[in-house]
Amino acid sequence: MTTGVRVWRRRVSNVQMDKLSRMKRKKKKKKKKKKKKKKKKKKKKIDVVGQKSLFPYHAAPGVVGLKLFIDDLRMFF
């Protein structure tokens, strides 16, 4: 303590002291977690002339559609 300065302390019960010390304590801020951005997958386009008119069910997603499509091509050639 610095000289010549008197600090007056109130008489405080233990419970109140606890409250005071809790009040004086600074609240720690929680760090926010950064959300990872999901990368969008690019769809592969299959270019065949008139594929929609010839094979309407080719719109089936993924491998099934491709397989049906290829089978149909084999039928024609």
Q: Is residue 34 part of a domain?
A: no
Report yes or no on 29 lying in a domain.
no
**What is the Cα Rg of the chain in Å?**
37
> Which domain range does residue 77 map to?
49-77
CB 30 within 8 A of CB 24: no
Question: 6 falls in which pLDDT band (50, 70, 90)?
Answer: low
* pLDDT, position 70: 72
Number of domains present in the structure of the chain: 1
Residue 67 lies in a domain: yes
Q: Is residue 71 part of a domain?
A: yes
What value does the mean pLDDT take over residues 7-19?
69
Q: How far apart are the first and last CA of the chain?
A: 100
Residue 56 in domain: yes
11 falls within a domain = no
pTM of the model: 0.18
Q: Please determine, for residue 15, whether its predicted confidence score (pLDDT) is greater than 60.
A: yes
